[in-house]
Structure 1
Amino acid sequence: MKEITSKEVEQLIGEGKSLNIIDVREAGEVAEGKIKGTVNIPLGLLEARMSELDKSKEYILVCRSGGRSGQACQFLNSYGYKVMNMTGGMLSWEGKTE
């Protein structure tokens, strides 16, 4: 599984890169703060909503600590999606949230 650190994500955002970030936490968790521009698709709804994703794009998956997003990466990867897990999740995020 491909991985990226929260620092690397923060740096890419700072450089103005357009990232496709999916937060797989529950809505209540996301309400406490998320990375700007993130799309929330809770892990339990991922299978039903994966048709919303474009297989030609690369996605960074985020959760609280990296566990659920890791599961989501394995699941989406098995269907041919290009995904990376943000290690440490939002617990390691030091950048701005919205």
Structure 2
Amino acid sequence: MNDIQAEEFKNIILNSIDDVFILDVREELEFHTFNIGGQNIPLGKIQKLLEDEDLELPEDKAVIVVCQRGLRSKTAKTLLENFGFRNVRNLEGGLLKLQRIL
């Protein structure tokens, strides 16, 4: 699935946040410093959760993966797709880009 731009994501946050699932793959400290909600699972833990089949994501919502700059979230998106998840989008430019337009 295509990545999502900050402007489109901003509109989702403001208008239809219940239609998406936000997966924040930053470390806990980063998440607690600034976040937009969602579930925090650091990138380093995602691979193991996927291998152990312990990662549950909603099938009825788009999963938007976020991080600071969009690099870790891009990696997480690829991992998720490799394990069969199809409705996954990466926030291009990450939360830094989103913060500039909020």
- More helix, by proportion: 2
Distance 2:59 2:21 in 1: 12
Q: Give the TM-score, by structure 2 length.
A: 0.82
Which residue in 1 is equivalent to 2:9?
9
Structure 1 outlier segments of 4+, above 6 Å: none
- More strand, by proportion: 1
What runs of 5+ residues in structure 2 fail to find an aligned partner?
none
Question: Which moves more between the two structures, 12-21 or 26-35?
Answer: 12-21
Which residue in 1 is equivalent to 2:84?
80
Which residue in 2 is equivalent to 1:90?
95
- For these two proteins, the number of residue pairs brought into alignment is 94
| Same amino acid, percent of matched pairs | 36
In 2 relative to 1, CA 56–78 (structure 1 residues): closer, same or farther, beyond 3 Å? farther
1:62 aligns with one of 66, 83, 99: 66
Which residue in 2 is equivalent to 1:26?
27
What runs of 5+ residues in structure 1 fail to find an aligned partner?
none
